Chains A and B, each alone.
Chain A
Amino acid sequence: MASVEQIDGTGPSGEDGVRRRDFINIAAVSFAGVGAVAVVLPLIDQMNPSADVLALASTEVDLSAIQPGQAIKTTFRSQPLFVRQLTPKEIAEADKVDPSSLRDPQTLEERTVDGKKQWLVTMGVCTHLGCVPLGAGEGENRGEFGGYFCPCHGSSYDTAARIRKGPAPKNLEVPKYSFTSDTAILVG
């Protein structure tokens, strides 16, 4: 067999029993494996949001037309976004509540930007099963806590859009946003 191995170029075993052929096998399979992974990466990554989808990943909202007590419904990342200017009465109602009594304890301050307590920006997606709550439109049912009301399974949110009653586990989500001027925000 030794002569055959020499013809094969495998050579005799080294002192530790490792042949040249073993090294070549491992090196070749490893190289092919790295190559396969390198090919799989773009195959997986192509399913992530494309550049045009990501370009819409942030939304600018003009607040100048929203009067106290009014709300608008717009979209952020293809999902409804509620922007509301709270009235002093609504702010007072929200502040009156002891946060520790809530299902998802948060104060209005924690849900708004410093010094802009009247601007409540939340996703319009019920945290129960993703329905769109009512209350942003004129004359819509705002539920017994005066915020938003989800018609699907009766979740009621208060004036700070915190969950107060019904099956939803969390407050309406506050997306990441910042004020670009006194009357405009950039969401996302």
Chain B
Amino acid sequence: MSFPWAEQYTPKHPVMQWVDEKLPLPRLVYNAVGAGYPVPRNLNYFWNFGVLAGLALVIQIVTGVIMAMHYGANDLVAFGTVEQTMRDVNAGWLMRYAHANGASFFFIVVYLHIFRGLYFGSYKAPREMVWLLGLVIFLLMMATAFMGYVLPWGQMSYWGAKVITGLFGAIPVVGEPIQTWLLGGFAPGNASLNRFFSLHFLLPFVIAGVIILHIWALHIPGSSNPTGVEVKGPQDTVPFHPYYTAKDGFGAGVFLIAFSILLFFAPNFLGHPDNYIEANPLSTPAHIVPEWYFWPFYAILRAFTVDFFFIPAKLLGVLAMFASILLLFFLPWLDTSPVRSGRYRPMFRKFWWILLADVAVLGYCGVAPAAEPFVMISQIAAAYYFAHFLIILPLISRFEKPLPLPGSITEAVLAKYGKTDGESAAVPAE
């Protein structure tokens, strides 16, 4: 599981020894996120985002459980109870704004975490399972975020629910029964609101469970690192505690400052004014857009405007949107290059930047009105997205000539700081 040189848990206090005999939970924590987990010594700040995502989940669960204490899951009162939470409940405004903006920050850190993994090849053997479980977490997050957005029962909540469940209606034959089954009616209503509330409460704990599997799978080979070269010996690692608890603590501080700025100075910046109007099935908002973290996928959904043979455009869009995420499950086998890190893959690195720009363009098109030139731009960008994973990555894996890899993590670190005299040279404290 861990490297043989990992520090051993040796409780000194008799009570801790007694606990260790009966239920070695402190030992588990020590070996998972304590001194007992050796981590490559060269991790940069992009390795903070896993812990930050965990922090974001904790913020969501704490504020969410509190929100649930003041919420009425019934279509007649839901909108009112959310407003009451904002206006009358002590610190209710803080809980709601923290929960709404916390969702955005959760997605920000998760997207950074994913693109970190894409750049440094963290999805490659032996860490495929870590990547796959991460994608499962991502899918669960999207479902949770969508259902949570419906709960305030504002106009965007209602019409968002209608459009998104309408996606299932595009499936031939069984689509409409599925849509009715999901909603518990022919349009979003009380039944839909209640089941979304129930699942919105449940899924975060499922996410927490999958996160445990994600970390478990990670700790079998150990963390990757910016060079992508595997750990070769004790000189390549430092204990997680105190080295990375401190580094992650610093990152958490920066994260919380950024979060607070948005939370206290622009809490509605990422929201839609329409959602402060109670849901009205007889009047549609002029412009239905999902939350920002769904924009790239929404653009892919809308990119299909013409039928292809017998497949209607709407169904194609739905299939493409789901495929854009399911595709990522095959990534460890599409990128066959043995070199992990983008640092030593000059071609791969360029295409990584293009992919990043492509997703940004898709995001921009997702919020733009469904008119030219955005339809054409999103078609090209969507096509490129699929081409990146299905054509470009397999090809560059085959033809690219990677740069020479460092002999070890320590060698890379010492080269960076101008030392060549082996492991006795400590990295200067900064």
Which A residues are closer than 8 A to B by beta carbons? 44, 47-50, 53, 57, 73, 75, 77-80, 124, 126, 129-132, 151-153, 167, 169
**Given A53-B189, A78-B186 in contact, is the A132-B181 Cβ separation under 8 Å?**
no
The answer to whether A130 and B159 touch (CB under 8 A), given A48-B184, A50-B184, A153-B371, is yes
Are B184 and A47 touching (Cβ within 8 A)? yes
| A residues less than 8 Å from B346 (CB atoms) | none
Interface residues of B in 151-188 (CB under 8 A from A): 159, 162-163, 166, 180-182, 184-188
With an 8 A cutoff between CB atoms, is B8 at the interface?
no
Is there a chain A Cβ closer than 8 Å to B419's Cβ? Answer: no
Question: Do B185 and A49 touch (CB < 8 A)?
Answer: yes
With a CB–CB cut-off of 8 A, which chain B residues contact A50? 184, 191
In the complex with contacts A75-B281, A130-B162, A49-B370 CB distance below 8 A: no
Contact B281 A78 (CB under 8 A): yes
What's the minimum C-beta distance from A46 to chain B, rounded to whole angstroms? 9
- Pairwise interchain contact B182-A47, C-beta atoms closer than 8 A: yes
With A49-B186, A77-B187 as contacts: A153 and B370 at CB distance below 8 Å: yes
A152 and B371 contact, CB distance less than 8 A: no
Determine the distance from Cα of A132 to Cα of B286 in the docked complex, in whole angstroms.
10
- Quick check: B281 and A49 within 8 Å, CB to CB? no
- Chain B residues 256-298 with CB under 8 Å of chain A are 281-284, 286-288
Q: How many residues of B contact A (CB 8 A)?
A: 29
Contact of B189 among A73, A78, A124 (CB under 8 A): A78
Inter-chain contacts of B287 with A (CB < 8 A): 152
Least Cβ–Cβ distance between B317 and chain A, in angstroms: 11
Name the B residues within 8 Å of A57 (CB-CB): 186
A53 contacts B184, C-beta separation under 8 Å: yes
B6 within 8 A of A: no
Tell yes or no: B349 within 8 A of A by CB.
no
Are the CB atoms of A130 and B163 closer together than 8 Å? yes
A-B contact pairs, 25 of them (CB 8 A): A47-B182, A47-B184, A48-B180, A48-B181, A49-B191, A50-B184, A53-B184, A73-B282, A77-B186, A78-B188, A78-B281, A79-B187, A79-B281, A80-B281, A124-B282, A126-B284, A129-B288, A130-B162, A130-B284, A131-B288, A132-B283, A151-B286, A152-B286, A153-B369, A153-B371
Q: Which residues of B contact A (CB under 8 A)?
A: 159, 162-163, 166, 180-182, 184-189, 191, 195, 281-284, 286-288, 305, 312-314, 369-371
Q: How many whole Å from A178's CB to the nearest CB in chain B? A: 19
Q: In the complex, what's the smallest C-beta–C-beta distance from B133 to chain A, in angstroms?
A: 26
Minimum CB distance partner of A73 in chain B = B282
A49 to B179, CA, bound (A): 11
> With contacts A49-B186, A129-B370 known, what are 10 further pairs, Cβ within 8 A?
A49-B180, A49-B185, A50-B191, A53-B184, A57-B186, A130-B284, A132-B283, A132-B284, A153-B371, A169-B312
> In the complex, what distance in Å separates the CA atom of A85 from the CA atom of B430?
81
B286 / chain A contacts, CB cutoff of 8 Å: 151-152
The 8 Å CB contact of B186, one of A79, A130, A151, A153, is: A79
* A35–B428 alpha-carbon span in the complex (Å): 67
A126 vs B166: C-alpha distance when bound (angstroms): 13
Q: Min CB distance, B305 to chain A, in Å? A: 8
Secondary structure of the A contact surface, majority rule: loop
| Contact across chains for A80 and B282 when beta carbons are under 8 A apart | yes
CB neighbours (8 Å) of A131 from chain B are: 284, 288
Query: Which of A50, A126, A152 has the most B CB atoms < 10 Å from its CB?
Result: A152
- Output the nearest chain B residue to A54 by Cβ-Cβ distance: B185
Please tell me if the beta carbons of B189 and A130 are within 8 angstroms of each other in the complex.
no
Cβ–Cβ < 8 Å partners of B180 in chain A = 48-49
Instruction: Find out whether the CB atom of B195 lies under 8 angstroms from the CB atom of A47.
Output: yes
Chain A neighbourhood of B166, CB < 8 A: 130
Q: Shortest CB–CB separation between residue B282 and chain A, in angstroms? A: 5
- The answer to whether A152 and B288 touch (CB under 8 A), given A47-B182, A47-B195, is yes
Residue among A49, A73, A79, A153 with most chain B CB within 10 A:
A49
A79 to B282, CA, bound (A): 7
- CB-CB < 8 A to B283: which residues of A? 132
Bound complex: CA A53 to CA B163 (Å):
20
Cα(A77)–Cα(B185), bound, Å: 8
- On whether the beta carbons of B370 and A47 are closer than 8 Å, the reply is no
Nearest chain B residue, comparing its CB with the CB of A153: B370
A167 touching B370, Cβ below 8 Å: yes
Q: Whole-angstrom distance between the alpha carbons of A145 and B186 in the complex?
A: 30
Give the chain B neighbours of A124 by CB distance below 8 A: 282
Q: Are B281 and A129 in contact (CB under 8 A)?
A: no
Contacts of A129 in B (CB 8 A): 163, 288, 370
Task: Tell me the smallest distance from the CB of B313 to a CB of chain A, in Å.
Answer: 7
In Å, the complex CA distance between A152 and B182 comes to 26
Q: Is the CB of A169 within 8 A of B284?
A: no
